[in-house]
């Protein structure tokens, strides 16, 4: 959808699906819904239908047209594994990610059971690709933590967690097989507060497992004021570059 993104941990967003429905407490103040509903009924706008879920086949091949390697957040305005997205369509999205292999893709879902099921079967051809990152959202113990187990069970080459909005202390979590952890607080009107000790506990566990830790933001009603400094510094850790195509471009540029 956008060749450039303001999201701290990605370069661009790509939305071959638009719209979604809420599934757990992390969705309560969904940014995508808030944004989309502002344009409901605005003729010709991409979100003329508000946040109603729909496929956008005209966007499917967009990454193939972007020649410069990017980190691409897939479906920032939806959830690829939503029950209303047909399996054939999900396979088409995965096919583009495999074909446009010079990019790194970040696929994030709250529908982790369906992702596990498809990565184990229909999407096997994409599951182990090194340029595709498969991730789950984790907001609390009840709904979020079980998604980690689904992700760990998936035959994915790269797995990441987006622990945002962090709503409660997660306690001890099993991070085996996880390659990247992003943590952030909720932002915008009605934002629920995130406590420092919850964040520090996750950072400590990432250190124990040797997992890169990315602290996105404190959040709050004015997220730019709250910033993203934790204990006097920012944490922008990311996994090693694993896309051979990007490595080749970088070496060629030396
Ligand atoms: S799953 Fe994501 S996109 Fe869908 S409603 Fe929840 S927060 Fe919004």
d(CA 161, CA 175): 9
Instruction: Say how many Å lie between the CA of residue 25 and the centre of ligand 1.
Output: 10
**Strands 180-184 and 12-14: what pairing?**
unpaired
State if residue 80 touches ligand 1 by the CB under 6 angstroms criterion: no
Question: For 10-30, what is the mean pLDDT?
Answer: 96
* In contact, 25 and 144? CB cutoff 8 Å: no
Instruction: Say how many Å lie between the CA of residue 225 and the centre of ligand 1.
Output: 25
pLDDT band at residue 3 under the 50/70/90 scheme: low
Q: Which of 1, 23, 162 to mutate to test the pocket of ligand 1 (most atoms within 8 A of CB)?
A: 23
State if residue 32 touches ligand 1 by the CB under 6 angstroms criterion: yes
Mean pLDDT lowest for which of 8-17, 52-61, 172-181, 240-249?
240-249
Average pLDDT, whole number, for the chain? 93
Contacts of 142 (CB under 8 A, 6+ apart): none
Helix axes 145-153, 112-120, angle to 10 degrees: 0
**Smallest Cα–Cα separation from 167: which of 135, 148, 142?**
142
pLDDT band at residue 253 under the 50/70/90 scheme: very low
Give 188-199 pLDDT, tens digit per residue.
889 999 999 999
Instruction: Say how many Å lie between the CA of residue 208 and the centre of ligand 1.
Output: 31
Cα-based torsion angle of the residue sequence 140, 240, 127, 131 in order, rounded to the nearest 10 degrees:
120
Maximum pairwise Cα distance, the chain: 52
Q: How many CB atoms lie within 10 A of CB 218?
A: 21
Residues of the chain above pLDDT 90, percent: 87
Question: For 61-76, what is the mean pLDDT?
Answer: 96
DSSP tag of 239: P
Whose Cα sits closest to atom 7 in ligand 1? 27
């Amino acid at each position: 959808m956008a060749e450039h993104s303001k999201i701290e941990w990605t370069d661009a967003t790509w939305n071959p699906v638009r719209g979604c429905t809420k599934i757990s407490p992390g969705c309560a103040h969904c940014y995508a819904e808030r944004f989309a509903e502002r344009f409901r009924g605005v003729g010709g706008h991409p979100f003329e239908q508000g946040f109603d879920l729909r496929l956008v086949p005209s966007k499917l091949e967009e990454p193939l047209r972007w020649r410069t390697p990017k980190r691409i957040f897939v479906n920032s305005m939806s959830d690829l594994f939503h029950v209303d997205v047909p399996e054939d369509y999900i396979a088409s999205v995965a096919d583009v990610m495999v074909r446009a292999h010079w990019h790194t893709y970040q696929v994030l879902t709250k529908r982790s059971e369906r992702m596990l099921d498809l990565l184990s079967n229909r999407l096997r051809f994409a599951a182990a690709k090194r340029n595709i990152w498969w991730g789950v959202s984790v907001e609390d113990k009840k709904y979020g933590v079980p998604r980690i187990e689904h992700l760990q069970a998936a035959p994915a080459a790269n797995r990441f967690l987006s622990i945002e909005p962090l709503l409660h202390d997660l306690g001890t979590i099993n991070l085996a097989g996880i390659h990247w952890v992003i943590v952030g607080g909720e932002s915008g009107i009605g934002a629920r507060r995130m406590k420092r000790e919850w964040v520090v506990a996750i950072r400590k566990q990432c250190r124990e497992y040797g997992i890169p830790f990315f602290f996105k933001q404190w959040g709050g009603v004015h997220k730019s004021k709250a910033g993203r400094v934790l204990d006097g510094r920012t944490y922008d850790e990311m996994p090693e570059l694993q896309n051979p195509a990007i490595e080749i471009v970088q070496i060629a540029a030396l």
